[in-house]
Amino acid sequence: MELAGNDARPLRLSTARLVLRRWADADREPFAALNADPEVMRYFRGPLDRTASDAFADRIESSFDELGYGLWAVELRSSGEFIGFTGLARQTFPAHFTPAVEVGWRLGRSAWGNGYATEAARAALDFAFDVAGLEEVVSTTTRTNERSQAVMRRLGMTHDSADDFAYPLLPDAHPFRPHVLYRMSKQRGLATTRPPR
Ligand SMILES: CC(C)(COP(=O)(O)OP(=O)(O)OC[C@H]1O[C@@H](n2cnc3c(N)ncnc32)[C@H](O)[C@@H]1OP(=O)(O)O)[C@@H](O)C(=O)NCCC(=O)NCCS
């Protein structure tokens, strides 16, 4: 991960193929398109319309102002194309492991299958431990979201089924309520997330 900008609040992170950066107005249209795709939103409550998508982008940008990190907009270095987000979000919903900082990702379908989510998340984890000074980062998803859990495993995050939980913001009988929790400690993160130098 290369940092640009003030080290305390870097403006962008770079990886071999990606730039993770603050959001631009031009991201809103492609972001709305991916949020409207039922396949991308399969494990959420459903696709978002343009208003809800823009409101989400606003909340993401506020998080950068508040915490100095957030869900970075991800673009391809080769073309400058916006492909989605990857980054860090503070979770405060009631659960046995919260408050916590979560690493998360959402890419447009055409960007899947290239290792981009894992590459971007490695940079986000490096940031979490090297710059933000966090002791642990978690990741959660519904039990049936295999692609997301595969990213967690590729990152080297650990899973103990005793940590799994019922996502409290969904009704009791909702099929997405059973969630898995993966963890990455600072010690493990510093040892495993960065490519050899
Ligand atoms: C979850 C999500 C980000 C995963 O995307 P992904 O592309 O499968 O994950 P990665 O970026 O790690 O890519 C891994 C795949 O790229 C392949 N790949 C191709 N070139 C690669 C390269 N150069 N380096 C690494 N992997 C590469 C891998 O083999 C793997 O393929 P496989 O799925 O066939 O095994 C994506 O499915 C998504 O945005 N889903 C919708 C939103 C969502 O559910 N988010 C999570 C909510 S908690």
Query: What digits encode the pLDDT tens for the residues 7-33?
Result: 555 679 999 999 999 999 999 999 999
DSSP string, 11-50: SEEE-SSEEEE---GGGHHHHHHHHT-TTTTTTSSS---H
**For 92-142, how does the pLDDT look when each residue is reduced to its tens digit (9 = 90+)?**
999 999 999 999 999 999 999 999 999 999 999 999 999 999 999 999 999
At residue 192, the pLDDT reads 84
From the alpha carbon of 40, which atom of ligand 1 is closest? 41
Three-class secondary structure of residue 81 per DSSP = coil
Q: How far is the CA of 6 from the centre of ligand 1 (A)?
A: 30
**For 42-65, how does the pLDDT look when each residue is reduced to its tens digit (9 = 90+)?**
999 999 999 999 999 999 999 999
Q: How far is the CA of 123 from the centre of ligand 1 (A)?
A: 15
From the alpha carbon of 106, which atom of ligand 1 is closest? 39
Q: Which residue's CA is the closest to the ligand 1 atom numbered 33?
A: 113
Confidence of residue 5 (pLDDT cuts 50, 70, 90): low
**For 66-98, how does the pLDDT look when each residue is reduced to its tens digit (9 = 90+)?**
999 999 999 999 999 999 999 999 999 999 999
pTM listed for this prediction:
0.95
From the alpha carbon of 108, which atom of ligand 1 is closest? 39
